[in-house]
A and B are shown apart, each in its own frame.
Chain A
Amino acid sequence: MIKVENLTFEYPGIRALDNISLGINKGDIMALVGPNGAGKTTLLHCMAALDAPLSGTILLEGRNVLDDPRACHQKIGYLPDFFGLYTELTIRQCLTYMAMAHKIQPTNINQSVIRAARRLKIDDRLEDKAGTLSRGLKQRLAIAQSIVHEPEILLLDEPASGLDPEARKSLSELFLELRDQGMTLVVSSHILSELEDYCTNMIIVRDGKIVEHKLIERENENLITIILQAINEQTEIIQILKKTDQVSCVTPAREGVSFRYPGDRQLQGRLLRQLMEQGINIYSFTTEKKNMQDAYLEQVGKLG
């Protein structure tokens, strides 16, 4: 859906993005993580056709975004880190303006406004002025403004910053809802723990380069790592596991054995039963959940 090819962006004397290439598929929720100044916002700005890079291209459905930025904006929604609102306008006016600005047919504008407001649960406050809203509601309005035209891709720069835990949770639910409705999301954030609730991929950006692009492991999806601890000898357990279907990457672990196995819970139950029937006295069978934060810190640690 989006293909970034050899993107280089420079500020005076500084290379903010250094020959970055990446691809984002339809339906992905891509987490863009990295320390301050890594180049996340610059990358989002380039993807939104708000800044022109020194070199490289960004293709949206095969078309360079800078060839016709306004056409590309009909397909992209963007929530900047420091967003502003027209505080003197009501929520309805803010959304109507954005709907008109995105060339929604006049007959559909009201419907689009209501739909965006409902999605963000602000439809009961349509006549409230933006300036009177709380921080969380302002954030909701800003997101509603960026999705009022039903973009195919939504770019969000630190969308949860300044929100309370409850608002963050409902934001996570919203992102999953939008993904389920066919939207592709790119979310830049520092709060890694919440990203793992909804992200499918993670890109770690550091010093203007992509240092890691990985798929987020989910239960019932892909392979997961299981740590098995039993009274039996480690070598005996390894031998049995190596002969077991769908088991891979069997390695000794502290006080047990670790191996890769499908995330499906029914399969895991069957494996447990099978191993016990084969005489392994299991006292611990746990899935190793390496969260995004661990993965990120591990990667950052590798780089020193």
Chain B
Amino acid sequence: MKISPEFLRNSWIEMTPHRMIGMPAILGGIFFLTYLVSENSLGLAGNAFRTVGISLFTLLTILWGTKLASECVATEIKDNTWDLQRMTSISPWEMTWGKLFGSTVFVWYGAVFTLAAYLYGVAGNNPAFVIKNILLLVGAGILSQSVAMLASMISIRKNRGYTRSTASASMLLAIIFSASLLGPGLSNETSYEWYGQYYHAIDFILLSVFVFCIWSILGIYRLLRSEFQFANSPLVWILFIFFAAFYSAGFINSAYASDEEILSARLFVAFGISLISAYLLIFSEQKDPMFIRKLTFLAKNSQWKLLIQTIPGWLASIFLATLFGLVLLARDYPGINLLFKGLEMHPYLISAILFAYRDIALVLYFNLDKKRQRADMTAFIYLAILYFLVPGILGKSGLSSIAAFFVPFSGSQIYTSITGAGIQFLIVLVLAYRRWKQNFSIVQEVTSNF
């Protein structure tokens, strides 16, 4: 079997003789202390070994490992070695594995010792349960590391500058995501209902963790492909949205609702997921004016294949949200009672879509400024003002009918919300278009200097 050069390089750097001796020595010391605290009894130390083993495993793989994974590409860029790597013949797959497991090889080396201690601690338990727990721990480690690397790479695609806060944010996001997925995990008692079937919590979470691992690693692979100048089709992202929608919709179950009602509710979940992903991506993806210029250039020149390959994730997501929204609107069914009891959802859907269009147009408007260093943050603040401050002031001033203009779900005044969202969307769209024409539709020549 050929070893990935990237993995080997990382191993040379990470697995120095000093560190290879140091890690087991320190861990050995900690476990010896655990033994001493347990009154020098191996029998009493068993339980403690299990707890300490899991804690150290979490510390190593989920805290330290996510940090290393989130920094593995960022440090290459900071140290000017990324172009060197991009100039090699290492394939995006090799680079994905080499970086993900190479940058964390040392923490996994340590994790093996902690798992050995855990195994000692659970000796005598049901072997299937122990194996599942170990797989879950390993899966959680890989998931948090791959999500951290993915988040950091999305940030790098948007902005090459490396900051500690970027790495910390990626790390935090990965830990929150893994923790939310693990949920009540390490117990064999609870169960999940998914599409009407009941599953043991540990089985369901284990499968979920590994499926999400595959998606996050696929995400890294696709971002590395983009870094290596390979064309990417948006199809994979669309498939992921469908998967996430399918996965989440499975939790919508009711013994009392009709199939039609359940289907509507599940479609609504799909709509919500597409909409959320559009919001997440519009703030995290590249919205470089040159990128938009490239899209318009490809459209003008009828280069459809390249255009489809260049379509950003947020555009694909808002398209899917609109599609799911239209399907829901077309369904002649009175409301989605499972989720929102007795509410006529159709106007709310229209309002949500129009407000999303307005918000995306607003983010683009700020990104089309010539000085757009903090465009996303500015857009975020403006959205907060539009959603909270303005309607809050208007509402408290007795002008709640006007406040509905800025609130997507305004109860009895929902049609005012729809009108408001529509008008605001058109205004922001015109402003964004004018800014585009003014700043970027005609490019200036470079001015070289000595």
Contacts and interface: CB of A to CB of B under 8 A. Distances in A.
Nearest to B13: A88
B446 A38 contact: yes
Contacts of B12: 88-89, 93, 97
Contact of A84 (B80, B90, B439, B447): B80
Contact of A86 (B13, B86, B301): B13
B440 interface: yes
B330 interface: no
A71 B443 contact: no
Contacts of B439: 13
Assign chain B's interface to a size class: 35 or more
A98 B5 CA distance: 8
A98 B86 CA distance: 11
Interface stretch (A44-52, A231-239, A259-267): A44-52
Given A35-B448, A37-B446, A52-B229, A78 B80 contact: no
A10 B84 contact: no
A39 B449 CA distance: 11
Interface stretch (A100-108, A170-178, A270-278): A100-108
B305 interface: no
B444 A55 contact: no
Interface in B281-322: 288-290, 293-294, 297, 301
Contact of B9 (A52, A54, A78, A97): A97
A89 B81 contact: no
Given A11-B290, A55-B297, A100 B8 contact: yes
Given A14-B444, A38-B446, A86-B13, A70 B228 contact: yes
A80 B6 CA distance: 20
Contacts of A82: 80
B444 A39 contact: no
A102 B86 CA distance: 11
A13 B297 contact: no
B448 A13 contact: no
A25 B68 CA distance: 45
B184 to A, nearest CB: 43
B87 interface: yes
Contact of B89 (A13, A70, A78, A80): A70
A16 interface: yes
B88 interface: yes
A29 interface: no
A73 B450 contact: no
Given A38-B448, A78-B87, A66 B80 contact: no
Interface string B367-411: 000100000000000000000000000000000000000000000
B172 to A, nearest CB: 28
Contacts of B89: 70-71, 73-74, 101-103, 149
Nearest to B226: A52
Given A73-B88, A102-B88, A207 B446 contact: yes
Interface in B62-93: 76, 79-81, 83-91
A52 B225 CA distance: 13
Contacts of A102: 88-89
A52 B228 CA distance: 10
Contacts of A50: 83, 86-87, 229
Interface residues of A, number: 51
Contacts of B443: 10, 13-15
B83 A54 contact: no
Interface string B348-381: 0000000000000000000000100000000000
B445 interface: yes
B5 A97 contact: yes
A54 B440 contact: no
A89 B13 contact: yes
A48 B87 contact: yes
Nearest to A106: B2
Given A84-B84, A85-B81, A86-B81, A12 B440 contact: yes
Contacts of B195: none
A293 to B, nearest CB: 13
A105 B117 CA distance: 41
A78 B83 contact: yes
Nearest to A142: B84
B447 A207 contact: yes
Nearest to B88: A101
A228 to B, nearest CB: 37
A89 B9 contact: yes
A76 interface: yes
Interface in B111-159: none
A128 B217 CA distance: 36
Contacts of A159: none
A70 B450 contact: no
B8 A37 contact: no
A13 B81 contact: no
A14 B87 contact: no
A11 to B, nearest CB: 6
A208 B90 contact: no
Interface in B402-444: 439-440, 443-444
B199 interface: no
Contact of B450 (A35, A54, A88, A149): A35
A89 B6 CA distance: 13
A101 B90 contact: yes
B230 interface: yes
A77 B84 CA distance: 9
B62 to A, nearest CB: 26
Nearest to B441: A13
A207 B448 contact: yes
Contact of A10 (B5, B86, B293): B293
A299 B128 CA distance: 79
B294 A54 contact: yes
21 contacts: A12-B288, A13-B440, A13-B443, A13-B444, A14-B444, A15-B443, A36-B449, A37-B446, A39-B448, A54-B290, A55-B297, A70-B89, A73-B87, A76-B87, A85-B81, A86-B81, A89-B13, A101-B88, A146-B87, A149-B89, A208-B445
Interface of B: 5-6, 8-9, 12-13, 76, 79-81, 83-91, 228-230, 288-290, 293-294, 297, 301, 370, 439-440, 443-450
Given A10-B293, A80-B83, A207-B447, 6 more contacts: A13-B289, A34-B448, A50-B87, A70-B90, A100-B5, A208-B446
